[in-house]
Homo-oligomer: A and B are copies of this chain.
C-alpha cells in the first residue's frame, strides 16, 4: 500500500499552511499514495509552548476544519489521517486525529490519550485526555491504529491497538530539540524516539509510520527560546526494519510502500501474541506497585 508521510514547517498562518499541505496531498496522490498521513496539529504552529486562554480560539474552526480536510480527501481520493484541535464543548478540547475516507466521509477518530506536560510542551492545559480508548479506525486501505505523539512512548497503547486488530500503527507527532541541548543529548533523544516506535512494530508484528514536523518555532511568550522540530519521519516494517526515512530539517513527501501482508509471515516466525502471560499482567493496571 503506497503511503505518503507529509513533513513540513508551519507556514506562518492557517491559510498558507492549509494551502501548502493540500498541495502536498495532491502531489502525494499523483505519486500514487492511497494513504496520506499528516503531522500533529498540522494546521498551526505547535502552540503549546506556553499557556494562553486565547489560543483556544484555534479550536473554534473545528467544524470548518472537518469540512476542509474532507474535501481534500475526496478530491484526491486518498484516505487521509489529520490531526486537529477539537472543540467538543465550551472548555472541553481534545487533540484529535480524524481519519477521512477517500470519499470524504469521516472513517473514525482518535483522541490523544496520553497528554504530556513539560517545559515548552504544556499540553495538559489545552487537551483533555481522550475518552475513546485505543480503537483502530476501519478504512478502505486497512484497519489503522492511529495514536498521537506522546502515546508513542507507551507500549500499552500500541499493544491494545494490535489486540484490536490494527494492521498498521500511525503516529502524527510534534517533537523537537531545544538548541541549547548538547549534540549528544539531542542524538539520544531522537534515537530513543525512533527506537521506542520501532519496538512497537516489533512487539506487535505490525508496520508503523511516524510523521513529525520540521522547522524552528519561537516561544512567543519569551519564557524559552523555542523548539527545533527534528523531522525524521519514518516508516518501518513488522520487524522494526526502517523502510523509509526523511531528513531532519526539510519539507518532504516521504513515499513508502507498506506491505500489510508481511505481518502474517513475521507473526508466524515470531509468535509473540501466542505466548503473552495474560494471567500475570494485572499489575499493568496499577499506577505503581508499592
Contact = CB atoms under 8 A, between A and B. Distances in A.
Interface of A: 113-116, 118, 129, 133-134, 150, 153-157, 159-160, 163-165, 188-189, 191-192, 195-196, 198-200, 202-203, 239-241, 269-273, 275-278, 280-290
User: In the assembly, how many copies of this chain are there?
Assistant: 2
Contacts of A153: 202-203, 270, 272
Contact of A283 (B118, B134, B199, B277): B134
A284 B287 contact: no
Contact of A239 (B150, B160, B188): B188
B240 A276 contact: no
Prevailing SS type, chain A contact patch: helix
A275 B239 contact: no
Contacts of A288: 163, 273
B195 A289 contact: no
Nearest to A113: B277
28 contacts: A113-B280, A114-B276, A115-B275, A153-B272, A154-B203, A154-B276, A154-B277, A155-B203, A156-B276, A156-B281, A157-B277, A160-B280, A160-B281, A160-B284, A163-B286, A163-B287, A165-B290, A188-B241, A192-B240, A195-B240, A273-B287, A276-B287, A278-B284, A278-B285, A278-B287, A282-B285, A284-B284, A284-B285
A155 B153 CA distance: 11
A250 to B, nearest CB: 26
